[in-house]
Structure 1
Amino acid sequence: MKIEILFEDNYIIVINKPNNILIHNSYYARNIKDATLLDLLEKQFNKSFYPIHRLDRKTSGILVLAKQKENVVVFQDLFNSNDIQKKYLGIVRGFFTESIVINSPVKNADTKVYKDAETLCEPLATYLCDIAVHPYENSRYSLVKLIPTTGRMHQLRIHMNKISHPIIGDYKYGDRFHNRMFETEFACANLFLHAYTLQFKHPFTGIQLNLKANFPDDWYKIFEKFNWNI
């Protein structure tokens, strides 16, 4: 698998991460033996890279990695101070029609302590599907923009489930009936959460970066079926 490169300079490489690939091995994914993103990049470039932030294994989209380990903290400081603007797109169950800020603590995977978490959610499009999904005669979906101001593990997935609009393809926090319908009717089994854009001022070069990641194939299939123009 060749990883798509969105931007590269002497300090960082920005890639479009596919669905279902771990960034690196971890205790929480110890049963997954597939090649990690770092493995694939090392094979592709014959060198090591150092993740500056993270995406869930099932999430696709923009990821920034440092070329020198000592520079990781410089870029992480941008994330910690919210000097990097991140926007995700998600496809969720139900009609979502009003912008809201979700303030709901999320449990830390290591300490089991709940930490403050905040997500801005904005509606982009809706679709009424004539396919029945238990217990209703039809099904409703929304395309939403998600902007996290904190970076908790599974934050977006937990927050959307919290407001009863779980992300399609999420088998941990989502709705199994809608997930199954997307699989059987549309042949789409991946999580519909995509890190779409990333904007920040490069701390070394001073260049303003405005990056965008193309969607996985499943997304374009749904855009066409639902007549969504993105």
Structure 2
Amino acid sequence: MKIEILFEDNYCVIVNKPNNVLIHNSYYARNIKDATLLNLLKEQLNLELFPVHRLDRKTSGVLVLTKQKEYVAVFQELFNSNAIKKSYLGIVRGFVEEELNITSPVKNPDTKVYKDASTICIPLQKIELNIAVHPYEFSRYSLVKLLPETGRMHQLRIHMNKISRPIIGDYKYGDRFHNRMFENEFNCNNLFLHADSIQFSHPILNNKINVKATLPTDWSTIFKDFNWKF
């Protein structure tokens, strides 16, 4: 599997992470034996890289890594100070009619303590299909832009479920009937959550970085079948 390189300089590499690839081995994914993103990049670039932030295994899109371990804290400070703008795209069940600010607290999986979390959800496109999905004789979907203002684990997936607009392909927080319909009707099995872009001022060079990640193949299938433009 070749990883798409979106940006590279002497300090960092920004990649387009595929669906269903772990960034690195972890306790939570101890049963998954597939090659990690770090393994794949080491083989591809002959470099040991260090992730600055997280993406869920099932989520695709923009990920920033550094070339030296000591640079991680320098880049992470951009996240800590909200100096980075991250944008995600999602396909969700139901219609999202207006911009929403979702502020439900999210539980930390280690401490079990709920922490404040905030996500902006912006509707982009919607469609109603004459395809029955239990318990209805039709089905509705929205394309949304998601702007996380905090960085809790599974935050976007949890927040969309909280407003009854779960992300398609989410088997933990989503709707199994709609997930199954996408599998059967469109042969799409992946999570429809994609880290679309990232913008920040380079913490060492001070130049502006603005990177977008191309969408996975499943998205092209759905955009074509739904006649959505993006």
* Per-residue deviation, residues 155-206 of structure 1 (Å, max 9, x unmatched): 0000000000000000000000000000000000000000001000001111
Instruction: Quote the Cα distance in structure 2 between the aligned partners of 1:206 and 1:144.
Output: 31
Mark the runs of 5 or more structure 1 residues left unpaired by the alignment: none
1:123 counterpart = 2:113: no
Map of 1:73-222 to 2, 5 A cutoff?
A: 73-222=73-222
| 1:48 match | 48
State the Cα distance separating 1:132 from its structure 2 match.
Answer: 0.5
Task: Give the letter aligned to residue 152 of structure 1.
Answer: R
State the Cα distance separating 1:228 from its structure 2 match.
Answer: 0.7
Q: What count of residue pairs does the alignment treat as equivalent?
A: 230
Instruction: Quote the Cα distance in structure 1 between the aligned partners of 2:101 and 2:165.
Output: 14
Instruction: Quote the Cα distance in structure 2 between the aligned partners of 1:81 and 1:97.
Output: 31
State the Cα distance separating 1:100 from its structure 2 match.
Answer: 0.8
Instruction: Quote the Cα distance in structure 1 between the aligned partners of 2:148 and 2:217.
Output: 25
CA RMSD, aligned part only?
Answer: 0.4
1:228 counterpart = 2:210: no
Percent of paired sites with the same residue: 72
Instruction: Quote the Cα distance in structure 1 between the aligned partners of 2:187 and 2:66.
Output: 36
* Per-residue deviation, residues 107-129 of structure 1 (Å, max 9, x unmatched): 10111111000000000000011
SS of aligned partner of 1:69: coil
| 1:39 match | 39
SS of aligned partner of 2:70: helix
Task: Give the letter aligned to residue 123 of structure 2.
Answer: P
SS of aligned partner of 2:62: strand
1:21 counterpart = 2:7: no
Mark the runs of 5 or more structure 2 residues left unpaired by the alignment: none
If the length of structure 2 is used for normalisation, what is the TM-score? Answer: 0.99
SS of aligned partner of 1:91: strand
